[in-house]
Structure 1
């Protein structure tokens, strides 16, 4: 994520938590160095067992910003997340670093970062892997326009289907039926 994007986020009165990836090697090394030399302001450790996975996540927050390029607008926290565990019978270990314009506890950052991965795992992974969306050629030729028409028709058909189901189940007022089903 470029420094300009951080500036835009702050200028729009919002906050950010951004993963520091390989395209920012200097910042990534700096966060790792601080984590090795300093005690974190806050630490949170959680272990989770799901299906064939056992994962221990350690989230550490640092507020020592000495040596951070001032071009990273709004930065208030450095976050280091270490994930250790097993998938099936294979061991894994990964470290991901983040920067944030928020000054929060490690537990708060852990919750937010985990929540983001929940979206990634439940939505994007399914679309990418199960539905092969990454391999789709829908971005070529007339396919994007055709797909948008198909999606609009699908929404229209689903609405009509819902109306027919409500009417067949004896609801004369669709407004009342939808209010009943929402409560």
Structure 2
């Protein structure tokens, strides 16, 4: 599953147009009330347009997720597009997308926001990849030792070198 974002302007526009011009094969709706947020979500699925077959081998489906709700007394709405090699089945793709978001929230968001990976100064050779692996390893170690909030973990253990080192040997 690949998220198609606005920075992929041509592909993003093609998907918007395609979804506006064609009826989805499947559509599922769900509602969540969690973490101070009320959200309603539509997941709509189309089979892959024929003009994609030459550019994207193995892709079978286009998915549009529309979310809207209220978070901290502020209304929001957004739309995300995905292309995937999975067959166009609404419920199945809805579950896969939720799992995809969970990975995004539990790893990538932490690396981007808490560890500020996008502002990293390492740019030469393999340094960016090595530091990305190191950050992932640190997150895994902290979660393995019961820390769910990385901000809390860093505040609690950042000046306790023996405790930090014990994570590597236990």
Q: Give the equivalent residue in structure 2 for 1:117.
A: 101
Aligned residues: 138
Contact 1:27/1:68 (8 A) holds in 2: no
Q: Give the equivalent residue in structure 2 for 1:50.
A: 34
1:66–1:85 CA distance, 2 compared to 1 (3 A): same
1:93 aligned to 2:102?
no
5+ residue gaps, structure 2, are 139-161
Contact 1:43/1:60 (8 A) holds in 2: yes
Q: Give the equivalent residue in structure 2 for 1:170.
A: none
Cα-to-partner distance string for 1:55-76 (whole Å, 9 max, x where unaligned): 1111111015134362111221
Q: TM-score, normalised by structure 1?
A: 0.62
Q: Give the equivalent residue in structure 2 for 1:77.
A: 61
Aligned-residue offset at 1:135:
4.3
> Whole-Å Cα distance in 2 between the matches of residues 31 and 140 of structure 1?
34
1:34–1:136 CA distance, 2 compared to 1 (3 A): closer
Q: TM-score, normalised by structure 2?
A: 0.66
Q: Give the equivalent residue in structure 1 for 2:159.
A: none
5+ residue gaps, structure 1, are 1-16, 163-183
> Whole-Å Cα distance in 2 between the matches of residues 46 and 91 of structure 1?
17
SS at match of 1:157: helix
Match for 1:31 among 8, 11, 15? Answer: 15
